[in-house]
Amino acid sequence: MQRNAFRKIPVIGVEDGSFRKGITRKAKLVAVLFLETKIEDVRITDVTVDGMDATEALFKIIGGWSFGAVLLSGVSFAGFNIIDPTLVYEECGRPVVVISRTRPDNVAVKRALRRHFKDWERRWSIFDKLGKVYEVQVMDGTEPVYVEVVGETGKWARGLIQALTFCGRMPEPLRVARLIARGIS
C-alpha cells in the first residue's frame, strides 16, 4: 500500500495522562480520531489507576466512530490498567497496533504483575496473547519504535506507522493523544 493510501485510513490514537501512584485514583484516557493530517474528533474519559476498566472505557469512547485501525501507546494505561488489543480487534474488526518507544521487557512485566496483583495471571494473559515484536525504523537517524500487531501483518503496520509519522518517532495520532492527555493531567 502506498504511503498516501495509508493516510486515507481513519486512525485512532490512544494514550493516557499523568497520575501519581498511591495518590491519584483515576487517570485520563484520550482517544484521538485522525484522518490524513487532521484531528477529526477527541474523546476523553477516566480510568482507574491499576484497575481493569481501560478496555471497556476505550469501547465507550470510540463508540460511533468509523475507523480503520487503532494505535495504542503500549498495553498498560494508568499503571497496569491493561487494554486488551486482541479483544479490541475482535469487537471492532479493525487492526490494532501497539507501539512502544522501548523494546518490551515481558520478563520484568510478568515479575511486576506477580509481585503487585492477585489477578496477575489475568493481566499477564493479555500480554501473553500478543505476537512478535517488530522493530520499525520510522526515519533515518532516529531510534526505532517497537510494534506488536493484532489483525494485520508487521509489514502493513510498518507502512501505516511510517505514513503517519511527521514529527519525531511516534505516529501523529499517538503524539497528539499524548500531548492532550499530559496537558489535561
**Domain CATH number, residue 163:** 3.30.2170.10
Q: How many helices (H) and strands (E) does the chain have?
A: 7, 9
Closest CA to 69 of 95, 37, 90: 95
The pLDDT of residue 180 is: 96
For the whole model, what pTM was predicted? Answer: 0.94
pLDDT digits (tens, 9 = 90+) for 22-80: 788 999 999 999 998 899 999 999 999 999 999 999 999 999 999 999 999 999 999 99
Number of domains in the chain: 1
How many angstroms separate the CA atoms of 160 and 165, rounded?
9
Give CA–CA dist 171/80, Å, rounded. Answer: 23
Task: Please give the full DSSP string across 62-129, using - where no structure is assigned.
Answer: HTT---SEEEEE-SEETTTEE--HHHHHHHH-S-EEEEESS---HHHHHHHHHHH-TTHHHHHHHHHH
Domain interval for residue 18: 3-184
The answer on pLDDT for 3 being more than 70 is: no
